[in-house]
Chains A and B, each alone.
Chain A
Amino acid sequence: MKKEVLKGIIVFTIIGFLCSLLLFWVYETTKPLIEHINRGSYYEK
């Protein structure tokens, strides 16, 4: 039982870490565009 719980925690942590890495990459890629929109320059076109 203890082993199963430990395995669950490890798997959840690893998948969570990988998901956050992916999200961080997408966030960093889209950040300049989102900042550009937030500054209001997008709507001045």
Chain B
Amino acid sequence: MKNNLLTGLIKENPIFVLLLGLCPVLAVSTTVENAIVMSLSVLFVLLGSNLMVSLIKNLVPNHIRLPVYILIIATLVTITELVLKAYTPDLYRILGIYIPLIVVNCLVLGRAVGFASKEGVLVSIVDAVGFGLGFMIGIVMLAIFREVLGNNTITIMDNLSKITGYKMVYQLIPNTNIFPVGLLITPAGAFISLGLLSGILKMIQNKRREER
């Protein structure tokens, strides 16, 4: 069970190791707030789909497995979309098309077909939590890197402040002319940042392996 959790979190991190579901990751990681809401949406869909798929795995005939799984995932994504639209319309507008696109996220469908359809309910839930948190760690790390270096701020609650009542936008280094590096906020900057972070993590992993 612990192994299942750690697999998604570190060993097979969906963003830095498996490179799955990169479309929203690259597009939405301009602020930490967007990254957190996006990853929470993915976590909810992943958790719901893994739970439902593992519950009905023996009832679904093999030849209609995929349509049924997509039906379940699409339902969960539409629920997420409606809830975001109702409670945080500003964020819903910013995240835009990337919320409905969770339906075709390889990570969600991959875990449903590759894991939940073969394993028990509890293990599937643990797997979903592991991969969901792994996705969250990846996208938030990327967002911190891009926002801090590209905009010299960290936005934890800006659009969400209408619900929570707190506004949390911090400027990191006041009166500096080193930051911001505007390139990192652009789509090209997203690819560069992802490559850099991926490379750094791989280097750390290799160093640890050599030490052992």
Q: Does B4 contact A (CB under 8 A)?
A: no
Contact, CB under 8 Å: A23 / B75: yes
A25 to chain B, nearest CB (A): 9
Q: B60, B72, B78, B89: which contacts A11 (Cβ < 8 A)? A: B60
With A11-B68, A19-B72, A30-B83 already in contact, the answer to whether A4 and B89 are too (CB < 8 A) is no
Contact, CB under 8 Å: A11 / B61: yes
Contact, CB under 8 Å: B86 / A15: no
Q: Does A2 contact B (CB under 8 A)?
A: no
With A8-B64, A11-B64, A11-B68 already in contact, the answer to whether A27 and B75 are too (CB < 8 A) is no
With A8-B63, A11-B64, A27-B82 already in contact, the answer to whether A33 and B72 are too (CB < 8 A) is no
List chain B residues, Cβ under 8 A from A15. 56, 60, 68, 71-72
The proximity string for A residues 21-33 relative to B, scoring 1 for CB distances below 8 Å and 0 otherwise, is 0110011001001
Contact, CB under 8 Å: A12 / B86: no
Considering only residues 1-45 of chain A, those with a C-beta below 8 Å from chain B are: 4, 7-8, 11-12, 15-16, 19, 22-23, 26-27, 30, 33-34, 37, 42, 45
Determine the distance from Cα of A11 to Cα of B60 in the docked complex, in whole angstroms.
7
Contact, CB under 8 Å: B63 / A42: no
List chain A residues, Cβ under 8 A from B72. 15, 19
Contact, CB under 8 Å: B60 / A22: no
List chain A residues, Cβ under 8 A from B74. 19
Contact, CB under 8 Å: A34 / B75: no
User: Which residue of chain B lies nearest to A38 when distances are taken between CB atoms in the complex?
Assistant: B89
Enumerate 14 A-B pairs (CB-CB under 8 Å) in ascending A order.
A4-B61, A7-B61, A8-B61, A8-B64, A11-B61, A12-B71, A15-B60, A15-B68, A19-B74, A22-B79, A23-B75, A26-B78, A30-B85, A34-B82
Taking A4-B63, A11-B61, A15-B72 as given, write out 6 further A-B residue pairs in contact, using a Cβ cutoff of 8 Å, ordered by the A residue number. A11-B59, A15-B68, A19-B75, A23-B75, A26-B79, A30-B82
